[in-house]
Structure 1
Amino acid sequence: MTMNMKSGEARTKRRGVWRAAVRGLALACISLPGAALGFCLSLLSIALIPVGVGLVTTPYVLSGVRAFANWRRVLAAEWGGVRIPREYRPLPDGSKPWSRTLVMLRDPATWRDLRWLAVDMTAGCVTALLPAVLLFYPLEGLAIAAGLWRLLDGGDGYWFGFVRVHDQGSAFSAGVLALLLLFFAHFFTPRLLDVHFRLTRAVLGSNQGELAERVRVLTETRRDAVDASAAELRRIERDLHDGAQARLVAVGMDLGTIEALLDKDPAQARELIAQARRSSAEALTELRELVRGIHPPVLAERGLGDAVKALALRLPVATEVSVDLPGRAEAPVESAAYFAVSEVLTNAVKHSGADRIWVDLHHTDGMLRASVTDNGKGGAVVEAGSGLAGVERRLGTFDGVLAVSSPAGGPTMVTLEIPCA
């Protein structure tokens, strides 16, 4: 079985080498004429703007260049796994050609496209052609070693690389060189194609779009964190006001009454003392519940795994918890993960109709992952005002993500990930 797996991997790698060479050859054949045509037409159209012709033709030419660049972005993503964002400024709808021309010429992405065309028909063509050359050129050396050099010999011999083939011995040397090149092609052909796509990203892409997106995400998560903190403070204030504070006020009033009744009605005073003791015990219980809601003691003392297990024991639904954590994360990360899992479990108990729940906690690749699966009716969605939306906002503060798979009829699987060491 192991040998079959190894042979399968070898076949897959060979197919990857040939695929990279063929794709590189196709890109080279497209890069030179396509980029050259787009570059020359763009320069000609822009040059004709002062005489008025370019005002009409430039939007169409640049739109074609953008379509060509976007197509290459798709190939870079599909063939090389290199993603190049599109960062064109929006064009006004229903505008005249000259206004579209001005908008496109003011767009920095337009000039990046033109620079990329110049690079693509030169260095881009070379880097795309290298994988094919590295794989196909040694085939010529093997043909020479097989005796084809006699047909190609023009009297002075035939050169293959640095070997001058003029007899059977030099032909054998050419064959050895060809095999050596094929050996290198087996390992480096796919990587050379990656060089082409990375060159494309270096010229065609820009970090501004990624930075702007990062700033937008950070702004939203900061606003969500501020809103969540304000809501949490209001909840704590409301719980203290309506619960423990009201009971402590009642205890104080009872103590005042007891003080006045000690000499007049000792029996009534004893009843009020017992009532005050009960009220103080209830206030203490509510304070403990409030503290547990802010940061459970078991979470602080024993970590996320044991805290989730303790949480599962209190659920009315049979819950199985699997924990594989090599250590403890930072306290804010543990707290966020605990309350996120708690909210997901609460939703599962309330809305799924499940009779069994599975929780899995593990850490891999620098990510704390938690998944909650139930065998309920499904149909869970992340929408505004829902508990899952609140979980998503909580995780966003830590650059975490939430994924929900809940087809109609179930099962439902909610997965959350938080980056952490």
Structure 2
Amino acid sequence: MSKGTSGKDDKSTGLNFIAAHFFSLPSQGNVYSLTPLIDAKGHARLLVASLQRKVYCLEYTNGRPCKREVPFTYIPAGAEIISVDAINRSVIQEDFIIGITIIKRDDGKDQQSQFFNIYSDWDLNSDSALDIVSQNCLPLHLDFVPYHLYHTQARSKNGWETVWLLSGSDCCIHLYCSDEESYQEVNNSELFPEFQYLSEIVLQIDVSYSADSKIRTSAVACETGTVQVFRVNVEPGPQVTASHTVSWDYPVASVKIFTINTTVPLPKFLKVHRKAEDITQEPGLTHVVVATTLESCYVYRDILGSRESYELPESDRYDSVSCCITCDIDQDGENEILIGTYEQKVIMYKQNAEDFHSWDIYHSIKVPCPILALTHCDVIGDGSLQLIVMTTTGIHIFQHNPWELAPVVLKRLEALADDRLFKLSS
């Protein structure tokens, strides 16, 4: 496969992606069936589910790409996998919790049953934590058809914990919390009051916390074209303080909460030389990008404040939009917007440096098949992040040209070293 093509001259964008590898899949997945498994070092493996029951782990071992099937239990023959998500509970080792939702059709009957399977365990003596996890399943029966499976943090009586959010055909977002070594559904009104009175099927969920974790912004995209955004004060107890709703004529494929500026986590050896106030950042304005299936995509600046909206140019020209992410794709400290389309194209947008009110096409990549999902993580294990594109036939891995990435790394290392010397001398 060739390198990506750009809507502008490639030299002007500063992006030069290399097609590192393509993992073919025997059957198609969907917009919910790709999730990264990120270890304590920040390296990722990709967990990809096909609609025909099988789940694959895609990874790089000693610099070489590797694909293998993971034998998850309690996924019977003929079952259809709807969504997959994964959590690593540990900051020092692999301690994965993997959620898989399935639909099982009863043989000989015109009926079906739905399950939310939660896999978790860890064994120091195992060569592969993932293989152990896949054999330890807690199946939860569902009385609704599952859609988006999403994990986030929530502040409960026992402190912060990771919870599951699952949208369903009953127009509800279901909340699942851990109870010692088990999981159970709990009423969402106490931890997520913003999701209590939804009246439409939710296709996408996104949750973001301020730097001090005191304010939560939640967004949902619905099948009818409605997008709802909430601001919640987390302390002393979750309370909705603001909300805003926008409506479209067609379903919304994706909604993402983001800020313009982004930062790279500070290395541990520098944190010891800084005071707490030196590394605490003020939360920026909250922006939301809404990717509709058959209309133009829009960016909402300060959606719970000024509510200014800007259209992403040409976002309605490439058939249906299927997915959207925000990330610092060119590593300049500012987030860009990436949308994936069913017309086999990834389009990247960057905020205009001279006019905040416009977003320009920054780069584009053409792939051979319709796009289902995007993510941005370090699957190669070289310390940089790669663009992962899931299509109807497999997974494309795009990496930056290492020779162009090296000056960026050196510049950041010099800045960190100079900053450390200044802190030690003051």
TM-score when normalising by structure 2:
0.24
Greater radius of gyration (CA)? 1
Structure having the higher helix fraction is 1
More strand by share: 2
